Amino acid sequence: MYSLIVAHETRTLAKTPSLLWILLLLTAAIAFGAWASSSVFERQSQGATAISNYENGMRTKMHDDLAKYEEKVKASGGKMEFAAVNHAPGEGPPQATNAGAVGSETESFAVLPPTGLAALSIGQSDLNLNYIPVSMKNIIDATKDNEIENPVNLKAGSFDIAFVIIFLLPIFIMAMSYDLLSSEKERGTLAMVMSHPISLRKLMASKLVSRIAILLAVVIAFGVGAVMAVGSELNQAETWARFGFWLGATVLYSIFWFALAVLVNAAGKSSATNGIVLAGSWLAFVVVIPTIVSVVTSTLYPAPSRLDFIAASREAQTAAEFERMKALDQYYYDHLELVPGGEDKANDFLTLSLANNASIEKAIKPLYDEFQNQLNRQEDAVTKFQFVSPAIMMQLAMNEVAGTSADRYENFMKQVFKFHAQWGEFFTGRFLKRDPLTTEEWKQIPTFKYVEEPFSDVLARLMPSLLGLLVVVAALTAFAFSSLRKYRVAAR
Amino acid sequence: MLEAIKLKKTYGDFEALKGLDLKINAGDIYCLLGANGAGKSTTINLFLNFIDPSEGQAKVNGLDVTTHPLETKKFLAYIPETVMLYGNLTGLENLAYFAKLGGHNEYSDSDLRNFLKHVGLQDGAVEKRVAAYSKGMRQKVGVAIALAKQAKALLLDEPTSGLDPKASNEFSELLKQLQGGGAAILMATHDLFRAKETGTRIGIMREGRLMQQLSTDEVSHADLERIYLEHMH
């Protein structure tokens, strides 16, 4: 009986021109979303590659100068000397012998590589810089840098596949199912059907199956197509595991909207009323509730404004410059083993600069930490409040699957800070001792490689959203189908 | 085959049906007459289990429709005032679908065509989309569905309303054929002439109550009209 009605519904739907338009628009939206988000990541990775190549080029040139100088010294039987920071070009030992110059005037870019499925959800990756310049300079300053992005884009969000699924897919589903029963009742065919030995629930389930099958066939086909077209690391099992979760979340989210349509139809109102109620539900679940959650979390945990943060950083810089000698003394007091001989310390601008950076970093670090902590508290609050709207659960799940979540970025930033410390440690000691760098030591310059967090961590964060969706969908479906008991085929 | 036992339906304070007792056997065409709101459609909807009775029972083939909703519908066919079908499918496709919904998968394409031919649907119309059908053609497809379903009981809710006399007469003839096949038929109608011509028994309803039952053999057209009008005043 199920297959009969499913086949009948599918055939009837296939003869409905509006459905073809709905599916055409959906496929166009998915294709456009895939193209738009892939172009965002392509631009990001091109930027990261270009800047890394530029910096590597600069260091390669310095390395070549150093190698030539080393050969020259070896040939003459002399001793390697340390280049002064403010030496004139072309005279004396090259800058590459000065660890301070190399460590602060060239930068190593810490790059957060996109996951294979990054194009499925841009998340906040358009707000967070995915390549951070690391040098001996103040790292916190670097995190404030951003690429120039159209502010309208940042405000409106991106047209990525996650947007298509979270915002647009429910509209397509509602267009397919707002009149599941009401149109048949209005046309009179429902009474004809229900005079046969079939239960309303079986009829409804069959109607849903045909619609879900049609819709998901399109979403899955184009989802796979999008991944094949714009995804990467497709030979890795983890990419496909992520895609599996994306698919699972999408199926659950779709069923939520179909189940809501069943519930609204079960009230027995007209198609027009059903359409209005469903449109209102969409507005509530997709726009209003997520906005309220956002307002509530930022009210509960207000983050210090970026303006305050930048102002504090400038104040610290001014204060440090004002007391630069004191800062230098404090710096050497903290690092007695590094105090150089001679009288040249006050003239060494780079040393002062390092001392300045250290004191600025020390001054603004608590503010930065507080800023980060408040963001984390906001994230935690959103994670807790996510269960009030399937759209929030879906967005969090999509970001986790795509690797564009705030947690993955935080993990990246922790590694960046660690790398910054390693970088500083490597160059500072050599610089302050005025030890000339050698090509042998050059090989030991730290390099950054992002260590992907274990997939189990991703799963642990993904599961609450997925299980939340599952529970909400199961409860809503059960409630919607049990509500059909009260449905009256005949009007009074 | 069809039996109502103290069947009552209320909507809040309004009593749509006030304890109906009725029995329609195989081979009977029972015509329910009455003004709008008399309870005729309510009775049919109760037999179809489209609405729940407030009290009493509606039985089909001895089974209570509320406790055996699917089993009782295997015996039933329903022909409303206008048989509503899927407009984007042909008459043949509609018949095939409804026959299968009724649990009859055994019919071949030619069997289904024969049903439609038997009810008088022209050959050319069989393959046409139902959206282009007249009301008379739709009613014929309704009867074909009842035939294909091998229904033992038919519930008809003003099926000839709006049909021209010729189509109405053809419809009556089809009903008589079904009656001859042993079906129990309950037909709600406003058409006294059709009730006298087609029915075997007549029940006159007013305000949810069955006022009088008559055998069509025992009453003339004129008497029937007089009795009916007496009950309406």
**Cα distance from A264 to chain B (closest Cα, Å)?**
19
Cα gap A119→A226, rounded to integer Å? 9
Residue of A nearest to B100 (CA): A4
Indicate if ipTM > 0.85. yes
B51: nearest CB among A1, A188, A490: A490
Give me the mean pLDDT over the A160-174 stretch. Answer: 91
Cβ neighbours of residue B131 closer than 8 Å, sequence gap 6 or more:
B87, B88
CATH number of the domain to which B188 belongs = 3.40.50.300
Cα gap A357→A362, rounded to integer Å? 8
A195: nearest CB among B11, B78, B103: B78
Interface test with A, best of B97, B105, B150, B161 (most A CBs within 10 A): B97
Give me the mean pLDDT over the A418-446 stretch. Answer: 88
Residue ranges of chain B whose pLDDT lies below 70: none
Give me the mean pLDDT over the A136-146 stretch. Answer: 66
Beta bridge partners of B189: B33
B85: nearest CB among A189, A197, A490: A189
Mean of the per-residue pLDDT values for chain A?
Answer: 84
- A 10 A CB-CB count for A377 gives 15
Q: B104-111: long-range contacts (C-beta < 8 A, 24 or more apart)?
A: B104/B148, B104/B149, B104/B150, B107/B148
Cα gap B87→A129, rounded to integer Å? 58
In angstroms, the Cα distances linking A446 to A43, A81, A257, A283, A428 are 27, 23, 51, 51, 13
pLDDT band at A98 (very low <50, low <70, confident <90, very high): confident
Q: Do B101 and A196 touch (CB under 8 A)?
A: yes
Q: Do A192 and B80 touch (CB under 8 A)?
A: yes
pLDDT at B149: 93
> pLDDT, tens digit, for every residue of A202-219?
999 999 999 999 888 888
Give me the mean pLDDT over the A343-351 stretch. Answer: 55
Cα gap B204→B219, rounded to integer Å? 13
Cα gap B184→B155, rounded to integer Å? 9
Residue with tokens 């029915």: B199
Q: Do A187 and B97 touch (CB under 8 A)?
A: no
Cα gap A200→A1, rounded to integer Å? 12
- Whether A487 has a pLDDT exceeding 80, the answer reads yes
pLDDT at A23: 87
Amino acid B105 reads N
The proportion of chain A whose per-residue pLDDT surpasses 90, expressed as a percent, equals 35
How many residue pairs bridge chain A and chain B with CB atoms within 8 Å of each other? 72
Structure-model confidence comparison of residues A135 and A153, the more confident one: A135
Cα gap A254→A164, rounded to integer Å? 12
Q: Do B88 and A12 touch (CB under 8 A)?
A: yes
Q: Do B86 and A189 touch (CB under 8 A)?
A: yes
Q: Do A198 and B71 touch (CB under 8 A)?
A: no
> pLDDT, tens digit, for every residue of A40-81?
888 888 888 888 888 888 888 888 988 998 888 888 888 888
Interface test with B, best of A5, A19, A195 (most B CBs within 10 A): A195
Q: Do A490 and B50 touch (CB under 8 A)?
A: yes
Q: What is the dihedral of CA A265, A269, A272, A278, to 10 degrees?
A: -40
**Cα distance from B90 to chain A (closest Cα, Å)?**
12
- A 10 A CB-CB count for B61 gives 17
Give me the mean pLDDT over the A361-378 stretch. Answer: 80
A188: nearest CB among B51, B82, B98: B82
Q: Which domain holds residue B72?
A: 2-232
**Cα distance from A23 to chain B (closest Cα, Å)?**
20
- Whether A146 has a pLDDT exceeding 60, the answer reads no
For A458-481, letters b (16+ CB in 10 Å) and e give beebbebbbebbbebbeebbeebb
Query: How far from chain centre, in Å, is Cα B3?
Result: 14
Q: Do B101 and A490 touch (CB under 8 A)?
A: no
Give me the mean pLDDT over the A121-129 stretch. Answer: 73
pLDDT at A492: 59
pLDDT at A346: 38
Cα gap B87→B85, rounded to integer Å? 6
Q: Residue B24 belongs to what H/E stretch?
A: strand B14-24
Query: How far from chain centre, in Å, is Cα A66?
Result: 41
Cβ neighbours of residue A408 closer than 8 Å, sequence gap 6 or more:
A112, A400, A453, A458
Are A423 and A109 within 8 A, CB to CB?
A: no
Tokens of A414: 């922790």
The number of distinct structural domains making up chain B is 1
